[in-house]
Structure 1
Amino acid sequence: MSGANEAQNRPEVTNRIIELLDKQNEKGKAKYGSTIDQASDQHYDWKLMAMEEMVDLIQYQQKEIMRLERLLTPR
């Protein structure tokens, strides 16, 4: 199956995630000069970095919940 054909057969959610991954990979390559595959395991604590990202995610999600509650709650 060709790449374009494959993308057409994927769910829209999957396509958006792949687009986001591509953007993040380009952003990382521009910032660090290499891909994550090329990054040295000796220079990064991957578990800690993942946990820090999850903490940020929780904060972003809570902020979005609060924004939606304000929109949906009549005053």
Structure 2
Amino acid sequence: MRKLALIALLALSGCATEYWVKPGVGYKATAADLAECRKGAGNYAVMAQTEQPCMVGKGYQISTTPPTTP
């Protein structure tokens, strides 16, 4: 049952676009911070493990709503 719930959650989450958001920070600054967090990762697997702690450390949260500040 637990596996089924996890599969359903993963399937549903694949439908929504996710954005890194931080109050008062727009697309350009977010893109720059994200690039900095991804720099030197080397490959996607490493990048996936380092991106989230880096962005959270910079004060960002994941949202399904894009940043509102340009």
Length-normalised TM-score, structure 1: 0.26
Which structure shows the bigger proportion of residues in strand conformation?
2
- Higher relative contact order, structure no. (Cα contacts within 8 Å, ≥ 6 residues apart): 2
Length-normalised TM-score, structure 2: 0.27
